[in-house]
Amino acid sequence: MNRATLLELLAAVESGAVKPAEAAGRLTEELVKLPYEDIGHARIDHHRTLRHGLPEVIFAAGKTAEQTATIFARIAASGADVLATRIDDAGVAAVRAAVPRAQHHAIARAVTLRQSPESALRGRIAILCAGTSDLPVAEEAAVTAELFGAQVTRLFDVGVAGVHRLLAVRDQLADAHVVIVCAGMEGALPSVVGGLVGVPVIAVPTSVGYGASFGGATALLGMLNSCSPNVTVVNIDNGFGAAYSATLMARAAHRVEN
């Protein structure tokens, strides 16, 4: 779309000949054709928000500190919110040197930068973990969902070994549009939660447990075989992926509710 065509479209919106939603659709179709930003070691997709509703996220594991910091700074320069996951101490130092306003979330192993206005939160997500050992994955999910604009309720250390702890927070569960459940060992908690709530439950197997847990494989298989039909499963330790999907679900539910 050239400048003249863009001006014609904006004039049509101003006159009422084209509705804003239709114009946004046309612009989105054109913008997804625009090139990404090629910085040599990465090709940054600045228009992902237009397609998905959420920005591109940096997976810092495997990248050098300098690579992570450069990508973080370029996304920040575009005005978008920025999230880097699975970041180590060297990466944190490099990012904060490049973007001093970036915030480090140590337990979540993440760095964020919020630049969008703090508008009304869209959707409610409850994030549970079975035990304290699951906190890094649960916090990754919580930090991700909060940056993306969801209202997050943290309900930690409510595993099935003491099921009364879970039942004690049932009212808070009932208020959520989506529930994320992080658990290792045998991975039983999502099935129990699925039987208590009438909303989607996203199960996150964690690599927590003794030898026969096989680094989270036992929990993964247990969750995949859940008898609760509202339970879906993401990959081992993938708190980010759970939060991404949960945020989209919560936003949709929030729109219907309001």
Using the 3D structure, point to which of 83, 113, 143 is the last residue of a domain.
113
Say which CATH number the domain at 168 has. 3.40.50.1970
Q: Percent of the chain scored above 70 by pLDDT? A: 93
Nearest residue to 83 (alpha-carbon basis) of 49, 55, 125 = 55
Whether residues 250 and 166 share a domain: the answer is yes
Residue for token digits 């690599």? 207
Whether residues 173 and 94 share a domain: the answer is no
Nearest residue to 155 (alpha-carbon basis) of 121, 188, 130 = 130
**Residue range 118-138, pLDDT digits in tens:** 766 678 999 999 999 999 999
Using the 3D structure, point to which of 57, 91, 113 is the last residue of a domain.
113
Whether residues 128 and 243 share a domain: the answer is yes
Q: Is residue 102 part of a domain?
A: yes
- Mean pLDDT, range 234-257, rounded to an integer: 89
Whether residues 76 and 142 share a domain: the answer is no
Q: Is residue 96 part of a domain?
A: yes
Residue for token digits 């612009």? 27
Average pLDDT, whole number, for the chain? 90
Q: Hey, what amino acid is at 134?
A: D
Q: Is residue 16 part of a domain?
A: no
Q: Is residue 75 part of a domain?
A: yes
- Mean pLDDT, range 243-249, rounded to an integer: 94
pLDDT of 120 reads 61
Whether residues 56 and 144 share a domain: the answer is no
Q: Is residue 30 part of a domain?
A: no
Whether residues 83 and 145 share a domain: the answer is no
**Residue range 180-233, pLDDT digits in tens:** 999 999 999 999 999 999 999 999 999 999 999 999 999 999 999 999 999 999
Whether residues 184 and 245 share a domain: the answer is yes
Q: Is residue 179 part of a domain?
A: yes
Give the largest CA-CA distance in the chain.
68
Given a cut of 90, whether residue 49 has pLDDT beyond it is: no
Whether residues 139 and 225 share a domain: the answer is yes
SS3 helix, strand, coil % of the chain, rounded to 5? 45, 15, 35
pLDDT of 1 reads 46
Measured from the Cβ of residue 155, the count of other Cβ atoms closer than 10 Å reads: 20
Whether residues 151 and 96 share a domain: the answer is no
- The residues that bridge with 85 in the sheet, in sequence order, are 59, 110
How many independent structural domains does the chain possess?
2
Whether residues 131 and 105 share a domain: the answer is no
Q: Is residue 4 part of a domain?
A: no
- Residue 201 belongs to domain spanning: 124-257
